[in-house]
Amino acid sequence: MSAVAESDRPSAGLLSLWYNREARQVIIQIFTIAVVFAALFYLARNAAINLERIGKDLGFAFLLEPSSYDINQTFIEYSSRSSHLRAAVVGVLNTFAVAICGVFLATVVGFVLGVLRLSKNLLMNKMVYCYVEVVRNVPVLLWILLMHGFVVHTLPHPKQAGDIAETFFFSNRGINMPSPTFEPLFWACALVFVAGIVGAVFYKRHAKKVQDETGKILPVLWVSLGLVIGAPVVVFLFTGMPIEWSIPALKGFNFQGGVTVKPELMALTLALALYTSAFIAENVRAGILAVNYGQTEAAHALGLRNNRTLQLVIIPQAMRVIVPPLTSQYLNLTKNSSLAIAIGYMDVTATLGGITLNQTGREMECMLLLMAIYLSISLAISSFMNWYNKRIKLIER
Partner 1 sequence: MNITTQSYKPGEHPSLPPPRNLVGPVKWAKDNLFGSITNTILTIVAVYLLYLIVPAILDYFFFNAAFEGSSRAECREIAKGACWAFIDERISVFTYGFYPVEERWRPNLAFVLLFVALAPVLFDKVPYRGKLLVFSLLYPLLAVLLIVGPVSVESMHFSQGVSGPLTWLVIFAFASALFVYGSKTHNALAMVVGIVPAGFVLVAFFLSDALWISIPDSIGLTNAADDIYIFEPVDTHLFGGVLLTIIIGVTGITLSLPIGIVLALGRYSNLPAIRTLCIMFIEFIRGVPLITLLFVASTMLSYFLPPGTDFDLLLRVLIMVTLFASAYMAEVIRGGLQSLPKGQFEAADAMGLKYWQTMRHIILPQALKVSIPGIVNTFIGLYKDTTLVLIIGLLDILGVGKTAISDPAWNGLSTEVYVFVAVFFFVSCFGMSRYSLYLERKLHTGHKR
Q: Residue numbers of the site for partner 1 (CB under 8 A)?
A: 25, 28-30, 32-33, 36, 43, 46-47, 49-51, 53, 116, 119-124, 127, 133-134, 136-142, 145-146, 149-150, 153, 331, 335-336, 338-339, 341-342, 349, 353, 357, 363-364, 367, 370-371, 374-375, 378-379
Residue 342: CB minimum distance to partner 1, A: 6
Closest CA relative to residue 283, chosen from 228, 334, 326, 327? 326
Residue 296 CA to residue 319 CA, distance in Å, equals 15
CB 382 within 8 A of CB 325: no
Comparison of 135 and 192: residue with beta carbon closer to partner 1: 135
Name the minimum Å distance from CB 293 to partner 1.
18
The nearer residue to partner 1, 149 or 180, going by C-beta atoms, is 149
Minimum distance from residue 230 beta carbon to partner 1 (Å) = 29
What is the smallest separation between the CB atom of 280 and partner 1, expressed in angstroms?
15
Q: Which is nearer to partner 1, 53 or 216 (CB)?
A: 53
- Which one, 180 or 344, has the nearer CB to partner 1? 344
Least distance to partner 1 from the beta carbon of 110, Å?
A: 17
- What does residue 270 show for φ and ψ, rounded to 5 degrees? -60, -45
Residues 55 and 77: their CA atoms lie apart, in Å, by 35
- SS3 category, 59: coil
Q: Which of 284, 270, 266 is nearest to 128 (CA)?
A: 284
Q: Is 258 or 287 the residue whose CB approaches partner 1 more closely?
A: 287
Smallest separation, CB 20 to partner 1 (Å) = 14
Torsion over CA: 297, 302, 308, 312 (sign) = negative
- Tell me which residue of 234, 258, 263, 231 sits closest to 244, measured CA to CA: 258
Kindly tell me which of 142 and 190 has the beta carbon lying closer to partner 1: 142
The span from the CA of 4 to the CA of 95, in Å, is: 69
Cα–Cα distance list, 166 to 155, 182, 214, 243, 310 (Å) = 17, 22, 53, 19, 41
**Bridge partners, residue 261, by sequence:** 175
Which lies closer to partner 1 via its Cβ, residue 248 or residue 263? 263
Q: How far is the CB of 128 from partner 1 (least distance, A)?
A: 9
CB 360 within 8 A of CB 55: no
